[in-house]
Structure 1
Amino acid sequence: MYKFVEKIVGDYMTRRPRTVRRDTTMRELGELFKTEDFNAYPATDGRQVLGVVSKLDYLSCFDFSATRMIPRYPDLMQRTVADLLTSEFIYVAPDTRLTRVLGLMVNHRLRSMPVLDANQRLAGIISRENVMHAVRDCA
């Protein structure tokens, strides 16, 4: 396990992650969540990450209360990722040690996080599965 201490994000990250655009609609996002086994997507404008949109962000649109008017379903499905995304998010760099990533995942209950390069552009994504792969490699 001592080998794991030396491993970095760049060795195990997914280099071409699936992303969504800011103008992706709720309908399109719902389909992506249905067909792909991802919990969240980086929302991008080119390679610039604007934020992260998760299944919980998607579901929050359906959280109605007595003080909140319920919109028509077709109107709700036309909302965009830009309306939902979390613009303050945790990210790491390719040279971040996996021990740090593991700590962030455990402490913040994250399933994945974007990997940003020195120019703050999307370089990849690191997921729990990627970290588990590294642990197996080092065992």
Structure 2
Amino acid sequence: MYKFLEEVVSDYMTRAVKTVTRDVTMRELQSMFNEDRFNTYPVEENSHILGVVTMFDFLDCFAFTPARMVPRYDDLMNRKVADVMTAEFIYVSGETKLTRVLQLMVEHRIRSIPVIDQDRLTGIISREDVMRALERCADCT
């Protein structure tokens, strides 16, 4: 397990990251979630990350309270990612220790974190990536 203390994001992250734009509709996003089996997409425009949109953000559109009117389903599905995305998001660099990533994931209850180096998206690190690293390091003992 001591080896895990030295592991960094760049050794385990997914480098080929699918992104979305602010103009993607909830209908398109739902299709992407179903097809890709991802939980998070970085929202990118002109090579800049504007935020992230998660399955939780998508589902939150359908959570109604007494203070929130119930819109028609089609109206909700035609909403844009820009309306529901999380603009203030947690990200890490490729040199971030996996121990820090694990801490962030547990503390903030998030499934994946964008990896940004020099203001560019270079990957994404997921819970599954961290679990793979833990398993690999446990085998080294």
Return the TM-score normalized by structure 1.
Answer: 0.93
Report what 2:45 is aligned to.
45
Kindly state the Cα deviation for residue 46 of structure 1 after the two structures are TM-superposed: 3.7
Report what 1:128 is aligned to.
127
Report what 2:79 is aligned to.
79
- Indicate yes or no: 2:110 matched with 1:103: no
- Could you list the per-position Cα deviations for residues 24-48 of structure 1 after superposition, in whole angstroms to 9, with x for gaps in the alignment? 1000011112222211111111431
Report what 2:56 is aligned to.
56
1:104 partner SS: helix
Return the TM-score normalized by structure 2.
Answer: 0.91
- Find the aligned partners of 2:51 and 2:99 in 1 and give their Cα distance: 24
Q: Percent identity?
A: 59
- Find the aligned partners of 1:106 and 1:64 in 2 and give their Cα distance: 27
Gaps of 5+ in 2: none
Report what 2:90 is aligned to.
90
The one-letter amino acid paired with 1:109 is R
- Find the aligned partners of 1:6 and 1:67 in 2 and give their Cα distance: 49
Q: How many residues are matched?
A: 138
